[in-house]
Amino acid sequence: MEKSPEQQLPRTWIAPFFTIWTGQAFSMLGSRLAQFALVWWLTKETGSAVVLTSATMVALLPGVFLGPFVGALVDRWSRRYIMIVADGLVALAAMWLVYLFWSGTMQVWHVYVIVLIRAIGEAFHWPAMAASTSLMVPRQHLSRVQGLNQTLQGLLSIAAPPLGALLYELLPLHGIMAIDVLTALLAILPLLFVAIPQPRRAEGAPGEGLPSLWADVRAGLRYIWGWPGLLAILIMATLINFLLTPAFSLLPLLIEKHFQREALDLGLLQAIFGIGIVAGGLVLSVWGGFRRRILTTLVGLIGIGLGNLLMGLAPASAFGLAVAGGFVVGFMQPICNGPLLATVQASVAPELQGRVFTVINSLVTAMSPLGLAIAGPVVDALGTQVWFLLGGVACVLMGVGSFFVPAIVHLEAGRDIVVDGTG
């Protein structure tokens, strides 16, 4: 009897997986540093909410429109090669930035092009890495790895903003972009030598071979449609992202215009946010959450809402209150996301994960571009705090209301239908 990819995992899975994971961690650090420098450069150059929100919108569009098709391709193609090409695309984009800043020819429109290129690479890279994790890591360790990923995000949020602010003062901008090139190459290097298992593909009817690309896309959509609890959560997440994505994309303006502070203060707030993520991840790893993991997620969602309300209500003279709100949002992020992501990752078959993850990402971020398009002009007229207040209220109401929705409370009961993947 043929073994599944999970059953074929070697006992020495730790070394190959964490070799790749470490390279990716370095790449994420370089990207965070470059992103911080670019966002602050845009803020100082334009001071426009419309520019910041439109740049964020450009970053979201590839994931929204390409996501389901990318997921189908990730389930067909070598995930290892996908990650190599995606990281290589990031390195090339960073090299172009090095030249633009070095030559003094950098313009605002260049940022939009760079953001689009990086977003296309990320649209392929993230599902390839997420789907590869379940094939390289034994099922019983997936939650631990997910917790480690949350901790990494927190550590990056702690280290990258102040380090980015410091480098912004010490180095020319082309020097910061060169760091991004180097870290992208560090991510590619392990992928050249470490193999990543591929899942078995379900074929169509006898003599028909693999199903069509569109059939693969429909299989991912059907899978989610047949899981009512997950579908309900995705609808909520779509509305939350409609409100919170613009809010946090405008954080530099909140710091400069409302609190009248500088890049180091932006770095401080983002670092405190990261400390909150690490603290929340540690608490979750020790506590383990409620027996029903979804209840832990809902508590985290309510906490995220309360943190956003603190940030939105903080007067200009109370920057510390906004910092406290940032800590609460960070602390509740792993409490909310960790149990939910582990549930989905453990429940979805490996050969469907690329499609399911990208469909989820597309649905969740689908309304964010609209929110960003609306937020820019509104914030220029009314101020940045309004979006933190709206997002905070929405998170609290949805978190509390979800306790009374059976499909959400019983999410871990699974799906009502089985999808064969043949379309």
Which candidate, 377, 340, 131, places its Cα nearest to that of 237? Answer: 340
N residues, the chain: 423
Instruction: Give the long-range contacts of residues 15-19, CB within 8 A, separation 24 or more.
Output: 16/136, 16/194, 16/195, 17/133, 17/136, 17/137, 17/145, 19/190, 19/194
> Residue 47 region, left (φ>0) first, then alpha (ψ -120 to 50), else beta?
left
The whole-number pLDDT of residue 421 equals 39
Q: Is residue 421 part of a domain?
A: no
In this prediction, residue 213 carries a pLDDT of 61
Is 85 within a domain?
yes
Q: Which pLDDT tens digits describe the chain residue by residue (423 residues)?
A: 444 444 444 457 778 888 888 888 888 888 888 888 888 888 777 777 777 777 777 777 776 677 667 777 777 777 888 888 888 888 888 899 889 888 888 888 888 888 888 888 888 887 788 777 777 877 666 666 766 777 777 787 777 777 887 888 888 888 888 888 898 888 888 888 887 777 665 444 444 445 566 676 677 777 777 778 888 888 888 888 888 877 777 788 888 888 888 777 887 888 888 889 888 877 877 777 777 778 888 999 999 999 999 998 999 888 999 999 999 999 998 888 878 877 776 666 666 666 677 777 777 777 777 777 787 777 777 777 888 898 899 999 999 999 998 888 887 765 543 334 333
CA distance readout (Å), 285 to 158, 308, 408: 19, 24, 23
Tokens of 118: 């990086």
Give 368's contacts (C-beta < 8 A, 6+ positions apart). 56, 57, 60, 64, 241, 242, 245, 246
Q: Does residue 7 lie within any of the structural domains? A: no
pLDDT for res 329 = 93
Dist CA 151 CA 378 (whole Å): 35
What is the rounded distance in angstroms from the CA atom of residue 289 to the CA atom of residue 296?
Answer: 6
Task: Examine residue 9 and state whether it is found in any structural domain, yes or no.
Answer: no
Task: Please give the single-letter amino acid code of residue 11.
Answer: R
Q: Which residue has the tokens 């400069």?
A: 256
| CA neighbor of 25 nearest in space, from 202, 118, 150 | 150
Of 279, 311, 357, 348, the closest CA to residue 73 belongs to 357
Q: What are phi and psi of 175, to 5 degrees?
A: -70, -40
Domain that holds residue 175: 14-196+213-413
User: Quick check: 349 and 150 in contact, CB under 8 A?
Assistant: no
Q: How far apart are CA 368 and CA 370, in angstroms?
A: 5
CA distance 200 to 48: 49
Tell me whether residue 22 is in a domain: yes
For residue 337, the model assigns a pLDDT of 84
CA 65 remoteness from chain centre: 16
What global pTM score does this model have?
A: 0.65
Helix spans in 250-352 (H): 251-253, 263-287, 293-313, 319-347
* 359 token code pair: 């469909």
Task: Please indicate, yes or no, if residue 151 is contained in any of the structural domains.
Answer: yes
Domain CATH for 317: 1.20.1250.20
Query: In Å, what is the CA distance from 45 to each residue of 37, 48, 162, 187, 371?
Result: 12, 9, 20, 32, 23
Q: Region of 209 please: left (phi>0), alpha (psi -120 to 50) or beta.
A: left
Q: Is residue 205 part of a domain?
A: no
Structurally, the chain folds into a number of domains equal to: 1
Q: Residue 381 falls within a domain, yes or no?
A: yes
Structure tokens at 322: 């906004």
